[in-house]
Amino acid sequence: FLPDVTVPCEICDGKRYNREALEIKFKDKNIAEVLNMTVTEAVEFFENIPRVRRKLQTMQDVGLGYIRLGQPATHLSGGEAQRVKLATELSKRATGQTLYMLDEPTTGLSFEDCAHLMRVLHRLVDTGNSVVLIEHHLDLIKSADWLIDLGPGAGDKGGDLITEGTPEDLVAVEASLTGRYLKDILPLAASEAEPMRAAD
């Protein structure tokens, strides 16, 4: 099969709005130009509109500053879509009684964006919420309050409880593959820990 072919509209030049709509401007930008902004650019553009700025700032805080405002939802990766949902939740009034469950939210994030996301997750926990992550990013794993290590392998070769506890506890379990990786970034825990056996 041949790939889809897209041809820009001759009337709007691919902007998706008629001439009358494009003539309406806010701070010298029409709607097509606003939707072409990244979240980071829009935070500054809407700085004097607190309600809009707060929502955009939350998106930036979860590492979505590079997303364009007009980007179709179907073009978001799984991790990006999760973070959009997370930003939506974070921009609501906090109750301190919410359970957030996220599946690998760091997928595709730069080191800097991972640090932003970690701060947001810590903020959620600090305000009384609970966060459950499925994650392979060691920086997030090492900052967890409690870990559940499943294995011994992946897919059909895994699914059994190897151990659970703090990151330092996992380092002390010889059967924990996660603990072996954590040992390199938790040197004090690795040198002081006494070997423990895996969970039955």
Q: Which pLDDT score, from 0 to 100, does residue 187 have?
A: 62
* CA dist., res. 22 & res. 89, Å (int): 32
> Cα separations (Å) of 75 from 5, 66, 68, 72, 86?
17, 13, 11, 6, 17
Query: For the segment 27-53, what is each residue's pLDDT rounded down to a tens digit?
Result: 999 999 999 999 999 999 999 999 999
Region 19-26 average pLDDT: 92
Q: In this structure, what token pair is assigned to residue 151? A: 């294995």
Region 129-143 average pLDDT: 92
Provide the angle, in degrees to the nearest 10, between the axes of the packed helices 78-90 and 50-61: 140
Phi, psi of 148 (to 5 degrees): -120, 115
Region 181-200 average pLDDT: 61
Phi and psi based region of residue 34 (left: phi greater than 0; alpha: psi -120 to 50; beta: remaining): alpha
* Residue of 181 and 1 predicted with greater confidence: 181
Question: Which of these CATH numbers, 3.40.190.10, 3.30.710.10, 1.10.357.140, 1.20.1580.10, describes 18-75?
Answer: 1.20.1580.10
Q: Looking at the whole model, is its pTM more than 0.85?
A: no
* Residue of 70 and 93 predicted with greater confidence: 70
Q: At residue 199, does pLDDT exceed 80?
A: no
Region 104-132 average pLDDT: 85
Q: Which pLDDT score, from 0 to 100, does residue 188 have?
A: 54
123 band by pLDDT with thresholds 50, 70 and 90: confident
